Structure 1
Amino acid sequence: MLRTMIEHGYTVSGMSCGHCAQSVTEELTALPGVAEVDVDVPTGRVTVRSEAALAEDDVRAAVEEAGYTYEGTASLIS
């Protein structure tokens, strides 16, 4: 049975390298239901795929725990 994934887009500032992306990825992946995280360092766009909706406060806390600034939700359309 295929699981339906929800795709969320966020903007994060303060990232400048692969290590930054890894830190954000690790914190977001630890949230319940998160299956995949994709970080685009140059744009600050973070795409999260999860099994359920994510609370914005949880996403903000995870990003801040990684040491970066959560700027809010972002459009998934490029």
Structure 2
Amino acid sequence: MEHVFQVSGMTCGHCERAVQNAIAEVDAQAQTSIDRASGKVVVQSSAPREALAQAIQEEGYSVAA
């Protein structure tokens, strides 16, 4: 299932890795595509959307639908 998030606060490669790692902790098989400039994060995962969003938020980033 594809989940698309609007994530604000990502400013560098470290931020992208932090988001990817947070997603991987929820679903190690997830495929993640991040466009830092637009803040768009696309995740291919069978994990619940809420769990993925919460993991990103716990890293300190704001998540919108």
Give the TM bin, normalised by the shorter chain. 0.7 to 0.9
Moved segments of 4+, more than 3 Å: none
Alpha-carbon deviation of 1:29? 1.3
Structure 1 gaps of 5+ residues are 1-5, 73-78
Percent of aligned pairs with the same amino acid: 35
Alpha-carbon deviation of 1:59? 2.1
Which structure is larger by alpha-carbon Rg, 1 or 2? 1
Which residue matches 1:9? Answer: 4
**C-alpha distance in 2, partners of 1:30/1:53?**
11
5 Å-filtered alignment, 1:1-78, equals 6-32=1-27, 34-50=29-45, 52=46, 54-56=48-50, 58-72=51-65
Residue type of the alignment partner of 2:57: E
TM-score (norm 2): 0.84
If each structure's helix is expressed as a fraction of its own residues, which one has the higher value?
2
- SS at structure 2 position matched to 1:61: helix
**C-alpha distance in 2, partners of 1:33/1:63?**
14
Structure 2 gaps of 5+ residues are none
Q: Over aligned residues, Cα RMSD in angstroms? A: 1.6
